[in-house]
């Protein structure tokens, strides 16, 4: 890895930890948007899952008064089925195709989130929650992005932010645990991975600590727009090179 690539990697891990500390999720989105330019999809997914133990473990402890394992159980059960499927698909999918798909997802998600009104879903259904967890697990197994689907679902419920974190924080932690196990079985944990993981770990830890300190002190709406704008740029940067140059 060149010096420029290393600095970009360290910046990605810090920003990922910072974003996760403030919002409770999106570390994977930030790291993916940057690291897929310099790392393979397998390495990126594995690093995100591994760093999830730091970001989500700290968040579970920090917000332990709001954690609802009972409310999170259907999502965790669905994820247990979805993660192995996603990991299996990761070994079959062409890396360039995966980059385009993730870039499109980042772009569409950011645009939708920036423009949507605050509608919400009132009806609770365990089967639907389990299905959401299953889809969340598939995406987590494929990319390490273990939180995007469950977080969107929690936002649609229009819950207060502490209640949302009380649900999706344990789901993210459990999904990342399952993702790490399946990726390890798939051969993702190599000496090179361990070296990269240890290099980025201090940046993730510092970023997470700083993000949690900022949580609740910044204007949520303004910060949310800044984060989504950065994700939009990351998504576009993944898609445009393939559209222009094939």
76-115, pLDDT tens digit by residue? 999 999 988 988 887 787 767 777 887 888 788 788 878 8
120 pLDDT higher than 90: no
118 pLDDT higher than 60: no
Q: What is the mean pLDDT of the chain?
A: 83
C-alpha neighbours within 13 Å on the C-beta side of residue 100: 12
24: left (phi over 0), alpha (psi -120 to 50) or beta: left
Q: Which domain holds residue 98?
A: 3-245
Number of domains in the chain: 1
Tell me the pLDDT band of 203, cut-offs 50, 70 and 90. very high
C-alpha neighbours within 13 Å on the C-beta side of residue 206: 11
Q: Per-residue pLDDT tens for 23-63?
A: 887 788 788 878 888 888 888 888 988 898 889 899 999 88
């Amino acid at each position: 890895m060149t010096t420029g690539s290393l600095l970009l990697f360290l910046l990605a891990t810090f920003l990922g930890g910072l974003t996760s500390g403030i919002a409770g999720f999106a570390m994977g989105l930030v790291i993916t948007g940057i690291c897929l330019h310099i790392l393979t999809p397998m390495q990126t997914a594995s690093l995100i899952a591994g760093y999830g133990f730091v970001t989500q473990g700290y968040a579970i402890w920090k917000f332990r008064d709001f954690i609802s394992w009972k409310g999170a159980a259907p999502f965790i059960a669905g994820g247990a089925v979805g993660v192995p499927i996603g990991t299996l698909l990761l070994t079959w999918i062409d890396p360039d195709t995966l980059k385009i798909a993730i870039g499109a997802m980042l772009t569409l998600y950011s645009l939708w989130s920036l423009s949507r009104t605050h509608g919400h879903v009132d009806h609770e259904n365990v089967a639907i929650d389990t299905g959401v967890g299953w889809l969340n697990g598939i995406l987590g197994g494929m990319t390490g992005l273990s939180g995007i689907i469950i977080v969107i679902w929690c936002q649609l419920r229009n819950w207060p932010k502490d209640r949302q974190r009380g649900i999706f924080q344990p789901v993210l932690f459990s999904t990342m645990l399952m993702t790490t196990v399946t990726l390890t079985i798939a051969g993702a944990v190599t000496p090179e991975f361990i070296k990269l993981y240890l290099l980025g770990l201090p940046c993730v830890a510092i970023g997470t600590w700083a993000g949690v300190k900022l949580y609740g002190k910044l204007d949520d709406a303004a910060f949310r727009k800044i984060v989504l704008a950065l994700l939009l740029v990351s998504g576009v940067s993944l898609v445009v090179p393939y559209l222009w140059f094939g």
